[in-house]
Structure 1
């Protein structure tokens, strides 16, 4: 699994990083995006819905989310 450290990044930077990472991934591969901004969780959900990507998210620590995205 690949990791994207987006701690401290504000929108749209995490989505831009995710788009770049997805470009180098094969179908079925996973990336874990870690963020401390709740707006990133919302925008990542919207992005994944548009592009048919699977998303699972959990608040790993108070105010820190781990978002696992699987490329379709």
Structure 2
């Protein structure tokens, strides 16, 4: 699984990185996005909700989220 590290990045950098990562994602493949900004997390969830993907998110430690995206 490819990991997109957005730790320390503020918007729109996580959005740009995620869009780039999604471009080459094949059906059944997954990527993990890691962010430590709540606004980036919310913006990423908004970006991903209208795409043909399965989204799983977890706040692994206080203020750090891992978002796993699998293309359907």
Question: Common fold, TM-score beyond 0.5?
Answer: yes
Moved over 6 A (4+): none
Distance (Å, rounded) in 1 between the aligned partners of 2:70 and 2:41: 15
Instruction: Name the TM-score, length of structure 1 as normaliser.
Output: 0.91
User: Number of residues paired by the alignment?
Assistant: 72
Q: Once the two structures are superposed, what CA deviation does each residue of 1:31-68 show, in whole Å capped at 9, x if it has no partner?
A: 00000001122111111112232111111111111111
Q: Which residue in 2 is equivalent to 1:26?
A: 26
TM-score (norm 2): 0.91
Provide structure 2 residue ranges, at least 5 long, that are not aligned to the other structure.
none
What are structure 1's unaligned runs of at least 5 residues? Answer: none
Tell me by how many angstroms 1:15 deviates: 1.1
